Amino acid sequence: MNQDEMMFEYLLQMGAMRPEEVEMMRKQKQIDALRGASMETPQGQMIGKHYVPPSFTQYASQLGQGYMAGKAQKGQDTAMRGMNERQRALLEEMRKRRMGVMTPGAFGMPDTGTGESSVY
């Protein structure tokens, strides 16, 4: 396999991961929005001439949003690690194939040496 074919295969594999990457970016934006909403302080309101303070449920909602953002972020981090690991494995496989093309006797290629087997 020549270098152009390997580069083409690499680009195909990275293109196959593109939808997953776009989905992760979309989820990250949702997590950021949820986290931002949990950082806002609940506001009281003026009803007529009376001030109505924020209710307990507004504070509970804020805590819930923060908790859900944290849980979603953990899942997102795990998914990102998985995608990075797959990309690393793909690059490692391509590197090994490239080295196999350059190294006689590797990966099933016939050895053109003298037949001596030496251990380094």
What pLDDT digit, counting tens, does each position of 89-118 carry? Answer: 888 887 787 777 655 554 454 555 555 554
Its pTM stands at 0.58
Average pLDDT over residues 40-46: 87
Percentage of the chain exceeding pLDDT 70: 77
Residue 26 has pLDDT above 80, yes or no: yes
Q: What are 53-90's pLDDT values in tens digits?
A: 988 998 998 899 999 999 999 999 999 899 888 888 88
Q: Which residue has the higher pLDDT, 7 or 81?
A: 81
Q: What is the mean pLDDT of residues 38-49?
A: 88
Rounded distance between C-alpha atoms, residue 41 and residue 18, angstroms: 37
pLDDT exceeding 90 applies to what percent of the chain? 25
Average per-residue pLDDT for the chain:
79
The pLDDT, as a whole number, for residue 97 is: 77
